[in-house]
A and B are shown apart, each in its own frame.
Chain A
Amino acid sequence: MSGTSPALIAAREADAAAASAVKALQASGRLDDARERYSELVARHQRRASRIAYHYLRDAAEADEAVQDAFIKAYQHLASFREELPFDVWFTRILINGCLDRIKARTRRERWLLPMSGQSGPATADGTTTERDVTERVPAGGQSPEQALLGRERRQQIAAALAKLPERQRSVFVLSHVEGRTSREVSALTGLNESTVRVHLFRAIRKLRGMLANDRVAAAPGELKGRRRVTS
């Protein structure tokens, strides 16, 4: 599982080519073509970006805005992008910084606001959302309402446990387990030392295991093969 899969290598080469093309088009003043080409990069990375932003911010609307801002910022600063670094790593770093800024701003805001009972919207103290009633969501295809309800409760428990982790542990866990990044990539994304990343990951797993002691979410046996390599 260490190293990089051929599919990922191919995807990164495609990213690098697209980013170089957009840069060249921007430099030559062909901005319509540059935007057109950039939309390829957006389409390729937006789902992954949305997941990361969502796990940081725990609010779909705010995550949406954060992703948009990150893509706009990346487009504006594409001239400073160095091709030797993978585009997704460079972009994810922009996204994470944006999310952290938003979390800081939210914390400042919430310092002056009284919590409202039954408040709909983003995160509560334990990271769960009060907004999403089960009936609001259409169950995934083939699921009975009961299964959907149980699945929803389980996800809420996991999300609440994840939200209780310290920020760095949470970041490392999300990037590593949800996005399937290697420790080296997580290190590049977060600016942490590679061994520090592994320590945070270890601690995050231990804490989650403790908090979700009664929860034994089992993955299908086939899913273990691909383990942490996740592609959108």
Chain B
Amino acid sequence: MSLLERLGRGHLTDRDFANLWVASESAAGTSDPHLDACAACRARYDAFERWIVGVGNELRAEADEAFPADRLSAQQAQIARRLETLERPARVIAFPKAARAVISGNSHVRRWVTAAAAAGLIAGVGLGQIVPLRTAIQVKPRAATSTPAQLTAHETQQIAQQLTPEATLRNDEDVLSEAFARPRISTLSALDDMTPHARDTVLNHRGK
């Protein structure tokens, strides 16, 4: 901005002051003709200068308040400690002795435990050879039967026809006499002969 422009425009603005302030840093003694001539602008520029220095002072004071002398001393001590640990080689921590004793002890107990485990294993294998555990445990597969849910309508009807009305209408006497009848399984007849029956007791009682 030329001198003519400044003179023509009147007094200096804050923008000009800021410009002058920044320029004054790089070129010592930078001055402005209007500023030198105009007392009002000089006074305003001085106020501007005081303001900007005041801002800097306030910011410095705020930071210094956050870092009092004792905090700085503590910081210095902390830096010294960190530098010291930086150069010290890492310390290797010994493995705990207790843990080692548990893992590799030579006590009698350990030997006995090992021998007992081996004996148990041998006995188990031998017993497994003698007793056919597998066959005893094995469960025969069930015959395939249809559950009511699986039956079709046609199959259900056939089953219903097989159930004769006579069978369902038998009286109690028939049912009892059938229960008292000798078993139909021939292999069990011998056993049946040796066993006293309720039927015989009833017949004897009737005969008397």
Contacts and interface: CB of A to CB of B under 8 A. Distances in A.
B194 interface: no
Interface string B37-51: 000000000110111
B75 to A, nearest CB: 6
A71 B71 CA distance: 16
Contact of B49 (A60, A176, A224): A224
Contacts of B51: 209, 216-219
Interface in B4-34: 14-15, 18-19, 21-28
Contacts of A159: 59, 62
B59 A2 contact: no
A178 interface: yes
A139 to B, nearest CB: 10
A22 to B, nearest CB: 11
A42 B79 contact: yes
A75 interface: yes
A209 B18 contact: yes
Where chain B touches its partner, the secondary structure class is helix
B67 A51 contact: yes
A16 interface: no
A24 interface: no
Interface in A58-93: 60, 63-64, 67-68, 71-72, 75-76
Q: Of residues B52, B63, B72, which shows the largest number of chain A Cβ atoms within 10 Å of its Cβ?
A: B63
Contacts of B80: 35, 39, 42
Interface in B54-86: 54-67, 71-72, 75-76, 78-80, 82-84, 86
Interface in A139-187: 140, 151, 154-155, 158-159, 162, 174, 176-178, 182-183
B65 A183 contact: no
B54 A209 contact: no
A4 B113 CA distance: 86
A106 interface: no
A43 B19 CA distance: 37
Given A35-B83, A60-B66, A217 B72 contact: no
Interface of B: 14-15, 18-19, 21-28, 46-47, 49-67, 71-72, 75-76, 78-80, 82-84, 86-87
Given A39-B80, A55-B63, 8 more contacts: A35-B84, A38-B83, A51-B67, A155-B58, A202-B19, A206-B18, A217-B54, A219-B53
**CB-based closest 5 A-B pairs:** A217-B54, A219-B53, A51-B63, A177-B56, A60-B66
28 contacts: A1-B24, A2-B27, A35-B80, A54-B67, A55-B59, A64-B67, A64-B71, A67-B75, A72-B79, A155-B59, A158-B58, A159-B59, A162-B59, A176-B25, A177-B59, A182-B25, A183-B26, A201-B22, A202-B18, A205-B21, A209-B51, A217-B50, A218-B47, A219-B49, A219-B54, A219-B57, A221-B50, A227-B53
Interface of A: 1-3, 31, 35, 38-39, 42-43, 46-47, 50-51, 54-55, 60, 63-64, 67-68, 71-72, 75-76, 137, 140, 151, 154-155, 158-159, 162, 174, 176-178, 182-183, 198, 201-202, 205-206, 208-209, 212, 216-219, 221, 223-224, 227-228, 230
